[in-house]
């Protein structure tokens, strides 16, 4: 049961709080939480701050154990947690620092359609998406992949689907890491993990995963919006999904197989959910190879989901999707570990950066950015909830200096799923959303109940913090029109 935080927190400025390493003997670094006085009460109401402190025990951790403003309780790491470890200083990799839904992420698709032209047909279009795109527990994809083909998905990611005609080369250019991590090894997956991936590519899943039709209702940076091809009143589509059952199984298998690694390598942990192994150990390398394969599967999954969205729009509007410019703005991941170079205490180091419920936020000029975005920074896509807003931001250099190029990934939960379902008793969430002009469709009533807007923090407050802290800069805001869920 969650208890109120009573540990020390020292305010640094209007957007940051320090959790000093003196809080628990064994902390190697301080904790650093990005929040303001408006969000702090909800953050202190669950045990996530203790998880920030626990992560600070990890060998090789650099600078601080970080938490974004969407912080809430997770497995091992809090959701919204960031930690960078140095492999050359016995730094570790922890599956709990990536999460169970490996490479869960978001992609944003623009269109040239305008709200004034399609608003009366939003309910029909939402229904068309719901009918065409498999969503919910146990649903299988429309396109089937045999064992050999699935191996291609695991090693090549989104590129394999583009080569087969389920996308265009520009999709890869506008996907983080071009939709593929090179060190993936399907042989590091258990048969159970591979079996759980059969038939799930191109499926939305359940929980907080969604596809949402939106409209641009506020622009903050007109230059960046122009680069992204966005204007007020324009229709966009946001896709949120991950590696499905395959990724979950990879994490579950890895947690079990690493169970004895801390004792083997003399690692003292305050929480067994932080099970880990040195990055350069056999256990660490095996997990990273399996994680990369699951990440590639997730990118392939979102690529196929976007293909199905394009198909739906083309069929609904009786014209090719290219006619309405359904092009990918960007795809970002928020559950992954990556090797990136940062300066720490005046020394450049290649670090293993865990981002669990946190999004990469590289500033202008970063060499990993697509050429057409290099002058403005990396697109940062922050979904909200079904009843409020979502955002597009751009990364800033401040993030590279302070948070290992990281920012928030969403609004962050206020209620557990069980609590949200209980709070919806006697209510009709679908009708409440309809009263706001939002069409919401799900496979079950609980699918909407557990994802109701009040189950989440106000994304507007969360985004204000990362904007004011200089981690990401607001470009535009989206208002939901129609959403499908599992």
Q: How far apart are alpha carbons 231 and 360 in whole angstroms? A: 24
What separation in angstroms does the CA of 204 have from each of 100, 141, 239, 385?
16, 9, 9, 17
- Find how far residue 329's CA is from the centre of its chain: 16
Residue in the structure block whose two tokens are 């350069």: 280
- List the one residue out of 150, 121, 33 whose CA is nearest residue 81: 33
Give the integer Cα–Cα distance in Å for 20 and 7.
10
Alpha-helix residue ranges (DSSP H) falling in 258-359: 261-264, 282-317
Distance of CA 381 to the CA centre of its chain: 9
Structure tokens at 336: 């992954």
**Gyration radius of the chain's alpha carbons:** 21
Distance CA 134, CA 76 (A): 31
CA 36, distance to chain mean position in Å, is: 22
Neighbouring CB atoms inside 10 A of 93's CB total: 28
Minimal CA–CA distance to 133: which of 301, 249, 245?
301
Among candidate residues 365, 354, 475, the one with its CA nearest the CA of residue 403: 354
Residue found by looking up tokens 């490996």 in the block: 102
Which residues, 6 or more positions from 113, have their beta carbon under 8 angstroms from its beta carbon? 234, 235, 324
User: What HEC string does 339-389 produce?
Assistant: EEEEEECCEEEEEEEEEECEEECCCCCCCCCCHHHCCCCCEEEECCCCCCC
- Separation between Cα atoms, residue 18 and residue 416, nearest integer Å: 26
Token pair recorded at residue 26:
């064994």
Residue with tokens 């293909």: 307
Q: Is the dihedral of CA 423, 72, 70, 100 positive or negative?
A: negative
Instruction: Just list the catalytic residues.
Output: 409
Helical pair 244-257 and 282-317, crossing angle rounded to 10 deg: 170
In the structure encoding, which two tokens stand for residue 469, read together? Answer: 């802290």
């Amino acid at each position: 049961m969650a208890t109120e935080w009573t540990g020390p927190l020292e305010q640094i400025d209007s957007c940051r709080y320090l959790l000093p390493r003196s809080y628990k003997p064994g902390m190697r670094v301080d904790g650093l939480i990005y929040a303001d006085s408006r969000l702090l009460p909800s953050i202190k109401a669950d045990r996530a701050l203790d998880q920030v402190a626990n992560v600070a025990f990890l060998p090789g951790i650099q600078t601080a154990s970080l938490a974004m403003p969407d912080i809430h309780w997770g497995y091992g790491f809090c959701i919204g947690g960031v930690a960078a470890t140095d492999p050359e200083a016995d730094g570790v990799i922890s599956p709990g620092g990536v999460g169970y839904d490996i490479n869960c992420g978001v992609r944003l698709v623009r269109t040239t359609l305008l709200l004034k032209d399609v608003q009366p047909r939003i309910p029909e279009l939402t229904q068309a998406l719901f009918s065409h795109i498999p969503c919910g527990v146990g649903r299988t994809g429309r396109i089937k992949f045999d064992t050999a083909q699935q191996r291609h998905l695991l090693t090549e990611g989104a590129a394999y689907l583009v080569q087969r005609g389920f996308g265009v080369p520009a999709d890869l250019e506008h996907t983080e890491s071009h939709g593929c991590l090179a060190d993936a090894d399907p042989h590091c997956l258990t048969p159970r993990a591979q079996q759980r991936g059969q038939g799930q590519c191109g499926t939305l899943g359940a929980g907080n995963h969604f596809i949402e039709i939106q409209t641009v209702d506020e622009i903050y940076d007109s230059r960046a919006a122009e680069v992204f091809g966005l204007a007020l009143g324009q229709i966009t589509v946001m896709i949120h999904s991950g590696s499905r059952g395959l990724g979950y199984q990879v994490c579950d298998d890895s947690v079990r197989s690493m169970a004895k690694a801390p004792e083997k390598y003399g690692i003292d942990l305050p929480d067994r959910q932080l099970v880990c192994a040195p990055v350069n150990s056999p256990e660490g390398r095996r997990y990273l190879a399996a994680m990369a394969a699951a990440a590639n599967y997730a990118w392939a999954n979102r690529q196929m989901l976007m293909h199905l969205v394009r198909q739906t729009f083309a069929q609904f509007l009786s014209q090719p999707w290219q006619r309405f410019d359904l092009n990918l703005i960007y795809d970002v991941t928020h559950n992954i570990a990556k090797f990136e170079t940062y300066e720490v205490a005046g020394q450049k180091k290649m670090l293993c950066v865990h981002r669990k419920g946190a999004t990469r936020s590289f500033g202008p000029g970063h060499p990993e950015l697509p050429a057409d975005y290099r002058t403005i920074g990396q697109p940062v896509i922050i979904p909200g909830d079904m009843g409020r807003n979502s955002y597009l931001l751009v990364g800033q250099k401040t993030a590279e200096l302070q948070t290992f190029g990281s920012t928030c990934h969403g609004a962050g939960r206020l209620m557990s799923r069980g609590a949200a379902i209980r709070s919806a008793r006697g209510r009709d969430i679908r009708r409440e959303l309809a009263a706001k002009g939002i069409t919401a469709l799900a496979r079950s009533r609980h699918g909407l109940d557990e994802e109701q807007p009040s189950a989440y923090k106000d994304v507007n407050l969360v985004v204000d913090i990362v904007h004011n802290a200089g981690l990401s800069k607001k470009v535009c805001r989206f208002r939901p029109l129609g959403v499908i869920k599992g």
